């Protein structure tokens, strides 16, 4: 009889602890979701800061020489540089922030897409490339000197 009593007591305790643990996990997930939602602007500023830093590094190491020469990266080079940019941004964010941004955007692919789109837009707005190209164009457009035949 006492064995049955202790087994029932053990079952009640296990069910209670399981219920409390499930409630704790729900609270933790809800708390994280609420915190991220309430501080979205801070997260966006943080992500943009790290992406700017990563773009500056990638730009100086990989893209600047092409911009000065007024050329663009070919598609395979662009893909490699884009992947390197995503990797560098995630390294700068660190594992905890990367995990929070994955949670914020829903999955890794969406986070990578957002980072890659930032890179694409900054790459397209390259001022050095635009200046170099316009300088080349102005040199090409100059009128040739006419020869006077006397």
pLDDT of residue 91: 97
Query: Coil, strand or helix: which one is 150?
Result: coil
Give percent of the chain above pLDDT 70: 83
Contact 70, 136 (CB under 8 A): yes
Q: pLDDT tens digits, residue range 103-131? A: 888 899 999 999 999 999 998 887 665 66
Average pLDDT estimate for 46-65: 92
15/22 Cα distance (integer angstroms): 11
Give percent of the chain above pLDDT 90: 45
14/55 Cα distance (integer angstroms): 53
pLDDT of residue 49: 96
Structure confidence at residue 83 as a pLDDT band (50, 70, 90): very high
- For the ranges 72-81, 101-110, 133-142, which has the lowest average pLDDT? 133-142
Average pLDDT estimate for 28-41: 76
Q: pLDDT tens digits, residue range 59-73? A: 999 888 877 777 788
Mark out the alpha helices in 62-149 (DSSP H runs): 64-68, 75-105, 108-124, 127-141
Query: Measuring CA to CA, how many Å separate 76 from each of 1, 72, 83?
Result: 76, 11, 11
The pTM for the full model equals 0.66
């Amino acid at each position: 009889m006492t064995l049955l009593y202790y087994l029932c007591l053990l079952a009640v305790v296990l069910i209670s602890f399981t219920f409390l643990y499930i409630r704790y996990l729900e609270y933790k997930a809800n708390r994280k979701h609420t915190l991220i939602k309430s501080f979205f602007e801070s997260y966006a500023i943080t992500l943009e800061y790290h992406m700017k830093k990563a773009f500056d590094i990638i730009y100086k190491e990989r893209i600047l020489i092409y911009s000065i020469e007024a050329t663009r990266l070919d598609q395979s080079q662009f893909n490699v540089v884009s992947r390197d940019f995503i990797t560098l941004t995630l390294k700068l964010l660190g594992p905890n922030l990367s995990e929070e941004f994955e949670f914020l955007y829903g999955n890794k692919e969406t986070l990578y897409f957002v980072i890659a789109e930032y890179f694409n837009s900054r790459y397209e707005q390259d001022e050095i490339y635009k200046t170099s190209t316009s300088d080349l164009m102005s040199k090409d457009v100059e009128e040739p000197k006419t020869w006077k035949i006397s």
